[in-house]
């Protein structure tokens, strides 16, 4: 999102996190701007029964947890490392000053927030539908169109079936059954357990 050299020049620091390490929790005050350098982060809400609803899977180069940077509210979700990861963090006050001095960055964040809001609209529309095939196809179509969590070269879906379930509000068993059905219909291709769209 923001050039690494620019972040470092403004005082950002690297932070290594281990797999399953919590970076921040829902409902706590925002202190930093976070940008992923390597690894993978899931941005999730955790239900009372411990199940996760994945808001987004963050890939290297993307920021996360940005909402409270703009509205001074609390974090709306938890950020948890999917694997050992490296991120950059910049103090919230410094981040705001950076945006004041580089208005083009502010415009980039407006585009990012708009894109994430569009994704939420899509998901909400599909979650209102009881058809698991429609939910999964809509999610994968969006990800493919926006080149998120999909291999650019081979169209392999870089999400587990559990992650797809956590993003669509379905049970993992339903996702497995539905993906097999979609393969039989020719909508998806499965090779050695990997899903391709």
Question: Are 83 and 134 found together in one domain?
Answer: no
Q: Residue 134's domain spans which residues?
A: 130-196
| H, E, C per residue of 120-145 | HHHHHHHHCCCCHHHHHHHHHHHHHH
**Residue 74 and residue 29 in one domain:** yes
pLDDT band at 41 (very low <50, low <70, confident <90, very high): very high
Mark whether 134 and 101 lie in a shared domain. no
Lowest mean pLDDT across 114-123, 158-167, 185-194 = 114-123
For residue 55, tell me if it sits in a domain. Answer: yes
pLDDT band at 169 (very low <50, low <70, confident <90, very high): confident
SS3 159: coil
Cα 29 from Cα 182, distance rounded (Å): 43
- Split at pLDDT 50, 70, 90, the class of 81 is very high
63-64 vs 78-81, strand pairing mode = unpaired
- 123 found inside a domain: no
Q: What is the mean pLDDT of residues 4-33?
A: 97
């Amino acid at each position: 999102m923001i050039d690494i050299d620019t972040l470092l020049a403004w005082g950002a620091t690297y932070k290594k996190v281990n797999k399953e390490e919590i970076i921040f929790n829902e409902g706590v005050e925002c202190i930093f701007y976070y940008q992923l350098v390597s690894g993978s982060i899931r941005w999730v809400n955790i239900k009372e029964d411990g199940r996760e609803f994945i808001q987004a899977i963050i890939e290297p180069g993307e920021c996360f947890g940005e909402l409270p940077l703009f509205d001074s509210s609390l974090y709306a979700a938890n950020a948890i490392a999917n694997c050992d990861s490296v991120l950059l963090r910049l103090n919230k006050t410094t981040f705001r000053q950076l945006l004041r001095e580089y208005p083009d960055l502010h415009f980039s964040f407006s585009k990012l927030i708009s894109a994430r809001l569009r994704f939420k609209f899509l998901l909400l529309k599909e979650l209102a539908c009881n058809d698991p095939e429609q939910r999964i196809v809509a999610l994968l179509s969006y990800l493919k169109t926006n080149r998120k969590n999909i291999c650019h070269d081979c169209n392999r879906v870089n999400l587990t079936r559990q992650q797809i379930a956590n993003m669509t509000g379905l049970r993992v068993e339903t996702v497995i059954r539905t993906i097999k059905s979609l393969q039989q219909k020719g909508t998806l291709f499965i090779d050695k357990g990997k899903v391709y769209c």
